[in-house]
Every structure is written in C-alpha cells, then in structure tokens.
Amino acid sequence: GESVGLHLPTLSVQEGDNSIINCAYSNSASDYFIWYKQESGKGPQFIIDIRSNMDKRQGQRVTVLLNKTVKHLSLQIAATQPGDSAVYFCAENNEAAGNKLTFGGGTRVLVKP
Amino acid sequence: DAGVTQSPTHLIKTRGQHVTLRCSPISGHKSVSWYQQVLGQGPQFIFQYYEKEERGRGNFPDRFSARQFPNYSSELNVNALLLGDSALYLCASSLAWRQGALGLNTEAFFGQGTRLTVV
C-alpha cells in the first residue's frame, strides 16, 4: 500500500511499551473529539471518542485524555503491538460544524519488535 | 455487513479533465461526507450531505460539486482538474447529521478512498 504520510512526526516505540500521542486543537468551541488510526492504503479507522464534558475515557488498551484549559488531547496506547504501527490523527467537531471533522496533522507510530 | 465502499480505487486523469467519484454508505446511514487527503496531511473536509441535502461545504473551489441520491449513495465531481487535485479522496458515512450527537452512535466510518492522480 501507499504510505499515508511521508513527513509526519514519528514516534518510535518498543513492542510492549506504552505509547502517548499528543494533539493540540485550536477551536475552543469544539465539543467532540475523535482519534483515528490510518494504515497504509486504507481510510481512517475510528479508535475512540470523547466529549467536552469529560476529561478521560478508556477503551480497550487505549485511553484518551482531554485538557480543555490548554486545548490538548492525548491518546495513550497500552502494551503497544506491531499492529499498532500506523498514522494517528485527532479530529475535532463542534455543533456549528455539523458533521465536519477538522483533522490534526497526524503522528506516525512505528513499533519496533 | 458491508462497510463504506468507494469506486474506483485508483484513477489517473489529465489536467483539464473532469472526474466522478462514487460512494456507497453503510446501510441505514443517511449522512455522507467527502474529504480530500493530500499525502502527508490530515483529511480536509469538502462536503457533507444528509437526507439528500447539502449540509456543509469546506473551503474548496466551485470546481468541486457533489450530490446524494435517494438510496443515500453519493458522487463527488471535480471539473477542470489541476495537478494539485491529486490526492486520496475519502468518503465517510454516519447515522446522524452531526458528529457526537448525544444518545446516538454517530461516529463516521470511512471508506478506503479513491487515489486520484492528475498528470
């Protein structure tokens, strides 16, 4: 498949370690946030979402943290596996935007065996 | 259960030509959104259609147009292609017109995209 992002920030992590991916957003009116995973040659795949009335949400091996004060979002992946290697995007949405998602620039995660 | 399907998967066009990209949403989904993803960047919103009406438009020129059919499938049309239109075009479908609507599973599901190359 074709590479999704050739010049993205890259996070290299050892298999089994935890990964933390950070994202800054700019719109203080945003009230809904999503993390997507995109593998080469594929469309973005939903990982986890969070609403602005929450500061933490956990899924299977993933945790999203939201700090509205500094407009910062993070995704934590526990016990990173080779299948987690991909590009990760945060996206934000607000009521006025309808279904429009505004995506961040993305972070490439490389898992070393 | 089929996901979002897009056709064609790859396409090569010449500058000045027009192109039509197609998207079939997940069964039961009434919202279709189109995104353009240039290599190395995140997807950029182009259009949203809900119940066959345009509900949102991104910052793209009038050369870009779209429509949604009674079966909720959608087409994206681009006229007078430029080299800069080369990108991965993504279609996303969802149940509701707005992401994150309370009480609904309103996450957007993306197709695999159409890779358009303009030469």
Average pLDDT, chain B: 92
- Are the beta carbons of B39 and A45 separated by less than 8 Å? no
Q: What is the pLDDT of residue B105?
A: 59
Share of chain B above pLDDT 70, in %: 92
- How many structural domains are present in chain B? 1
Give me the phi and psi of B83, to 5 degrees please.
-55, -35
For residue A4, the chain B residues in CB contact (below 8 A) are 37, 39
Instruction: Identify whether the C-beta of residue B15 lies closer than 8 Å to the C-beta of residue B119.
Output: yes
Share of chain B above pLDDT 90, in %: 82
Query: Can you tell me the distance from the alpha carbon of B119 to that of B117, in angstroms, rounded to the nearest whole number?
Result: 6
Average pLDDT, chain A: 90
Coil, strand or helix at A81: coil
Name which residue leads in pLDDT, A31 or B89.
Answer: B89
- Our CA angle for B111, B26, A107, nearest 5°, is 30
Task: Looking at the complex, report in whole angstroms how far the Cα of residue A109 sits from the nearest Cα belonging to chain B.
Answer: 14
- Are the beta carbons of B41 and A106 separated by less than 8 Å? yes
Q: Report domain extents, chain A.
A: 10-107
For residue A45, the chain B residues in CB contact (below 8 A) are 110
User: Nearest CB to B90: which of A43, A93, A98?
Assistant: A43
For residue B109, the chain A residues in CB contact (below 8 A) are 46
- Are the beta carbons of B112 and A44 separated by less than 8 Å? no
Q: In Å, what is the CA distance from A105 to each residue of A6, A87, A108?
A: 12, 10, 10
Instruction: Identify whether the C-beta of residue B32 lies closer than 8 Å to the C-beta of residue B91.
Output: yes
| H/E run at residue B112 | none
Mean pLDDT, rounded, for B79-86: 98
Task: Looking at the complex, report in whole angstroms how far the Cα of residue A1 sits from the nearest Cα belonging to chain B.
Answer: 11
- Are the beta carbons of A49 and B100 separated by less than 8 Å? yes
Instruction: Identify whether the C-beta of residue A99 lies closer than 8 Å to the C-beta of residue B56.
Output: yes
Residue B77: pLDDT over 90:
yes
Query: Can you tell me the distance from the alpha carbon of A111 to that of A80, in angstroms, rounded to the nearest whole number?
Result: 7
Q: What is the pLDDT of residue B102?
A: 56
Supply the DSSP symbol for A15.
Answer: T
Say which CATH number the domain at B39 has: 2.60.40.10
Residue B15: pLDDT over 70:
yes
In terms of residue numbers, what domain contains B22? 5-118
Query: Can you tell me the distance from the alpha carbon of A5 to that of B83, in angstroms, rounded to the nearest whole number?
Result: 19
For residue A36, the chain B residues in CB contact (below 8 A) are 110
Query: Can you tell me the distance from the alpha carbon of B48 to that of A33, in angstroms, rounded to the nearest whole number?
Result: 18
CATH number of A10-107: 2.60.40.10
